[in-house]
Amino acid sequence: MICSFYTPDEYYGNHAKQLREQLDELGLEHELLEVQKNPGEDWADVTRKKIGFIKQVCDRNPTKMVFWIDVDCRISHLPDYIANSSADLIGFQRSFGSPMQIGYHNRTRFWEPSFWGVNSTKQGRKLINDAFALEQRAEIKATDDYFLEEAWRANARLITFQMIPTTAIMRERAVTEPGQHPGFFSFGSSGNVADFKDKVVQHGQGAKKIGLRRQVLGRAKKIEAALPDSIKNPLRSLADRAGVTGLLTQGRAAHIDPARANSLGEILNAGMNGRTDDLVRATSEFEKKFLASYQDQATIDVAGSFLHYGAKPGPKTIPLIWWAKPFPGNFGDWLSPLMISNFTDNKISFQAPTKPISRKHLVSIGSIGRFIKPSSIVVGTGISSEDILLSKKADYVSVRGPLTAAVLAKSGGPKIESFGDPGLALSEVIPAKRGKTNGKVAFIRHFSHLAIPVRLPENFEELSVLMSHPDQIANFVKNLIGYERVVTSAMHVMIVCQSYGIPCALVTFAGFEENVHGTGIKYQDYAQGAEVEIMNPQVIPLDLNKIDLDNLTRDIQVSKTKKLEVVQAIKAGLERFDS
């Protein structure tokens, strides 16, 4: 039994209607109750009523596991390992943390209140009864999760509990790992939690205060949003060039022990600096001490990819800006070192987009125009939004397309008329011709869509974009040309299809349109720069059996002339670096 309640305002009322329709379609039994906010009550007062409502649902369903879901959250299905759980209590850890983050020193609550379930067991029902009894007698200002937490702490020694893995969240952009459970839950947020955070009682035992970096980032975003473009854009550019953006937005460090982290750091450092012997030694030492997790192995693999470019025989080292993460690498981003390296014997070293650099360097594939520096040499770089300033002092050989060129001119930069994403010339670097196809459809997601649960027709085969080594990319291409057509949500997979003449459909997924960053101008910018038909992502359902593939697919191939123009731009960029 799944339950929720809602107030009859527009936000919650609309979400209740959508949730009811979804649960009906899934065939899941549910109770959704409309509640009134009485005079003098606020959001916090309403939320604490959840405890009594859940108790009532439990009392009416004494043999069923009862799940609460916030009305603005969604589930695509209810996995067997959750629906058939024998635990007294099941849910996500607070802030959707992983087992490596367990501990009250990390947060004020143990459980995330947006989705959780209590079983029909004696201890499960005791927990909800205890929470209700406290809610009835408590005179403090508190929300529902306070009473759940108190009941949990009081009963924790006797309760069996099950944590839902954080990979079950559909909107998470993290890389999926082999064997993980498919995502089923998407989180909604009305904004009320943040508004009432300092107005209700919180558990303070061992709670770690929010990090200074997060505080600064949050304040900076609020200030930036309120500024006019004439002030906002120069400040943003200054922050990017100075490295402040990278400092504030870098991800949280992995929760691994220092010895393991140091060992992986040695491996990665050796690869990035082209030191073959050190990489072999560091990898051997790691394997003697540790069993590599999926993410450990991804780091080791990407170190080998860095080494391929950093250990070339040429006397010079060319710093190149591209996105190296998520490890083990994203196909489209790692096309950049592959394309540049093909036309030089010199070493290619990685330069993070958000780190400051004053020496001469190259910028090429990707929507990373925002991170172009005055010392950059630019070859085919694009943008994901027109709401930025481009460095007017950089040395521009070419850009992705005319929309990027227009933003550059608006920023006071030079007029550029050489266009083309270097990825469109991949067929000049990895020659391969289409022959007889296998009659199947290759399905390839953008890495931000990997956790979305989709249903594929029988003739679809899914291929991954998670790769970085040029040998992997070559094998990927040689495999790709054997398919009848491609369905993808990754722009550079589409671009490569147009390089080789593979029929392709560019898509995004209903409910997940915002997973890929940007306003969408990059698709038009690319097409106009490549002189091909514009393809914008078409929204499709999660069940791909329901799509009209013929209407989505386009058979487009970039001209030989355009490919050679892009190759000449790459060579010109390398010549300017040497000059």
**Lookup: tokens for 188:** 């909604």
Q: Cα–Cα distance between 169 and 185 in angstroms, integer?
A: 5
Q: Are 437 and 487 found together in one domain?
A: yes
Average pLDDT, the chain: 88
DSSP-based three-state secondary structure for 50: helix
- Farthest-apart Cα atoms in the chain, separation: 80
Using a 10 angstrom Cβ sphere, with 0-12 exposed, 13-18 middle and 19 or more buried, the burial of residue 86 is: exposed
Whether pLDDT at 108 is above 80: no
Q: Are 516 and 547 found together in one domain?
A: yes
Q: What is the pLDDT of residues 177-232, one digit of tens each?
A: 777 777 888 877 554 444 444 555 555 543 344 445 555 555 565 565 566 665 55
Average pLDDT (19-37) is 94
Q: What is the pLDDT of residues 395-425, one digit of tens each?
A: 999 999 999 999 999 999 999 999 999 999 9
Structural domain includes residue 402: no
Q: Determine the Cα angle at 501 with ends 442 and 362, to 5°.
A: 95
Q: Cα–Cα distance between 126 and 120 in angstroms, integer?
A: 10
Domain count, the chain: 4
DSSP-based three-state secondary structure for 244: helix
Least trusted range by pLDDT, from 249-263, 515-529, 551-565: 249-263
**Domain stop point among 196, 230, 264:** 196
Q: What does DSSP assign to residue 451?
A: T
Q: Are 219 and 282 found together in one domain?
A: no
**Residue type (1 letter), 54:** I
Q: What does DSSP assign to residue 292?
A: -
pLDDT at 146: 87
Structural domain includes residue 165: yes
In the beta sheet, which residues pair with residue 455? 543
Structural domain includes residue 472: yes
Q: Are 231 and 188 found together in one domain?
A: no
Pairing of β 89-93 and β 111-118: antiparallel
Whether pLDDT at 383 is above 60: yes
Average pLDDT (276-285) is 96
Structural domain includes residue 52: yes
C-alpha Rg value of the chain to the nearest Å: 26
Whole-angstrom CA distances from 293 to 1, 39, 190, 463 are 36, 54, 36, 22
Question: pLDDT band for position 467 (50/70/90)?
Answer: very high
The reported pTM is 0.76
Using a 10 angstrom Cβ sphere, with 0-12 exposed, 13-18 middle and 19 or more buried, the burial of residue 137 is: exposed
Q: Are 61 and 167 found together in one domain?
A: yes
Structural domain harbouring 217: 212-249
Q: Cα–Cα distance between 337 and 313 in angstroms, integer?
A: 16
Structural domain includes residue 86: yes
pLDDT at 183: 84
Give which of 209, 365, 351, 366 is closest to 273, Cα–Cα: 351
Q: Are 297 and 230 found together in one domain?
A: no
pLDDT at 551: 95
Average pLDDT (530-543) is 96
Structural domain includes residue 322: no
How far is residue 240 CA from its own chain's centroid? 21
Average pLDDT (23-43) is 92
Q: Are 126 and 35 found together in one domain?
A: yes
Asked if 423 and 558 touch (Cβ cutoff 8 Å), the reply is no
Q: Are 47 and 190 found together in one domain?
A: yes
**Residue type (1 letter), 82:** I
% of the chain surpassing 70 pLDDT = 86
Which bin fits 518, alpha (ψ -120 to 50), beta or left (φ > 0)? left
DSSP-based three-state secondary structure for 336: helix
pLDDT at 528: 98
Q: Cα–Cα distance between 530 and 497 in angstroms, integer?
A: 13
**Lookup: tokens for 26:** 């899934």
pLDDT at 562: 98
Structural domain includes residue 354: no
The Cβ of residue 288 has, within 10 Å, a number of other Cβ atoms equal to 8
Which bin fits 505, alpha (ψ -120 to 50), beta or left (φ > 0)? beta
pLDDT at 202: 53
Q: Which residues contact 482 (CB under 8 A, 6 or more apart)?
A: 434, 435, 437, 438
pLDDT at 205: 41
Q: Are 240 and 283 found together in one domain?
A: no
Structural domain includes residue 325: no
**Residue type (1 letter), 71:** V
Q: Are 532 and 497 found together in one domain?
A: yes
Q: Are 470 and 550 found together in one domain?
A: yes
Using a 10 angstrom Cβ sphere, with 0-12 exposed, 13-18 middle and 19 or more buried, the burial of residue 456 is: middle
Q: Cα–Cα distance between 384 and 96 in angstroms, integer?
A: 29
Q: Are 6 and 41 found together in one domain?
A: yes
Q: What is the pLDDT of residues 134-189, one digit of tens each?
A: 999 888 888 888 889 889 988 888 999 999 998 888 765 566 777 777 788 887 75
